[in-house]
Amino acid sequence: MNNQISNTILMVRPVDFSFNEETAKDNEFQHNPTGIDVNQKANSEFEGAVAQLKKKGVDVLIVEKKPEYQSMPDAVFPNNWFGTDEAGNIHVFPMKAANRNIESQQLDQAISLLKEAGFKIEKVNHWQKELGNEVVLEGTGSLIIDRENMVVYAAISERTQKKAVESFAEIMGYETVLFQTRSSKGFPYYHTNVVMSIGKEMAVVCLECIPNNIEKTLVQLTLERTHKVVLISIDQLEKGFCGNLLQVKNQKGKVFTVLSKTAFDSLTESQKEKMSPFGELLPIEIPTIEFVGGGSIRCMMAEIFLPKS
């Protein structure tokens, strides 16, 4: 059986972090601030996040950008282009924005880190070659994968194309649960991982943002088949990033539910009580990265499921 939770994550230092105009076109969570040193704050938040994870015993591999590469303002979110599985595959996903597609230039550095850490790599799957040049499918931003039960959930958007999800699922052997979303402003959410998260025994989801009742019921019933479901509101999704969390474990097997401090503060005490039995809540303070980048802590962590060599 596949593992749902990893004890090793890959992160990318946000050397070029800044407001990304390309991605802001369909990401309602991004803001362009003035009067603050965004880059310095983001790098400080990144260091703090790494330190907290390592302190809990989670292995963290950090990709350092080569000076000769072009600017990568959103490189701090590697889970959108990079993924792994237990069969030894690395997955490289096609991004919508040109200045995000170039992030995959860091693949060689990621592979070097993985090999140094003792991981075995069988194959690199370039999904743009597999699915076509016009395809967009942004990794575990687009795909919420229940690895143990072989189900992939996806909210359709410009960055999560329906045919691409179906083709990916067919090739990988997953059942699909596809649905539309509508934000408080009336637009689809750019990524599924702001809407929901799946751990080993717990799932967090905003059903309120799924306008089609049939799709909403399908999502709920499929999740309830295998998980304890914690519901969040649209307000918590949009203002608190409460759907953008990830369960990880340390080398001793202890499970942590990693979420931002913003998300932690936005959850009710009742929600925290429901979540706590499934892993220690680990809030991490990344307000600048959230406010400017429009993504939260889950987006900063690419899970490593590769076997050890």
How much is the pLDDT for 47? Answer: 98
Domain membership flag for residue 265? yes
Domain membership flag for residue 31? yes
Q: What residues form DSSP beta bridges with 119?
A: 308
Buried b (16+ CB within 10 A) or exposed e, 141-177: bbbbbbbbbebbbbbbbebbbeebbebbbeebebeeb
Which residue's structure tokens are 């069969």?
87
Domain membership flag for residue 212? yes
How much is the pLDDT for 34? Answer: 82
How much is the pLDDT for 150? Answer: 97
Give 288's pLDDT tier (boundaries 50, 70, 90). Answer: very high
- Report the mean per-residue pLDDT for the chain: 97
**What does the alpha-carbon distance between residue 11 and residue 31 come to, in Å, rounded to a whole number?**
23
Q: What is the mean pLDDT of residues 140-153?
A: 98
Q: Domains in the chain: how many in total?
A: 1
Q: What is the pLDDT of residues 168-198, one digit of tens each?
A: 999 999 999 999 999 999 999 999 999 999 9
Domain membership flag for residue 309? no
Spatial CB neighbours of 290, under 8 Å, sequence gap ≥ 6: 29, 241, 260, 262, 296
- For residue 168, give its domain range: 8-303
Domain membership flag for residue 1? no
| CATH code for the domain of 240 | 3.75.10.10
H or E stretch covering 126: strand 123-126
Domain membership flag for residue 216? yes
How much is the pLDDT for 133? Answer: 87
Three-state secondary structure readout of 52-86: HHHHCCCEEEEECCCCCCCCCCCCCCHHHCEEECC
Q: What is the pLDDT of residues 105-144, one digit of tens each?
A: 999 999 999 999 999 999 999 999 999 989 999 999 999 9
Domain membership flag for residue 245? yes
Domain membership flag for residue 3? no
User: CB of 292 within 8 A of CB of 31?
Assistant: yes
2: pLDDT strictly greater than 90: no
How much is the pLDDT for 36? Answer: 85
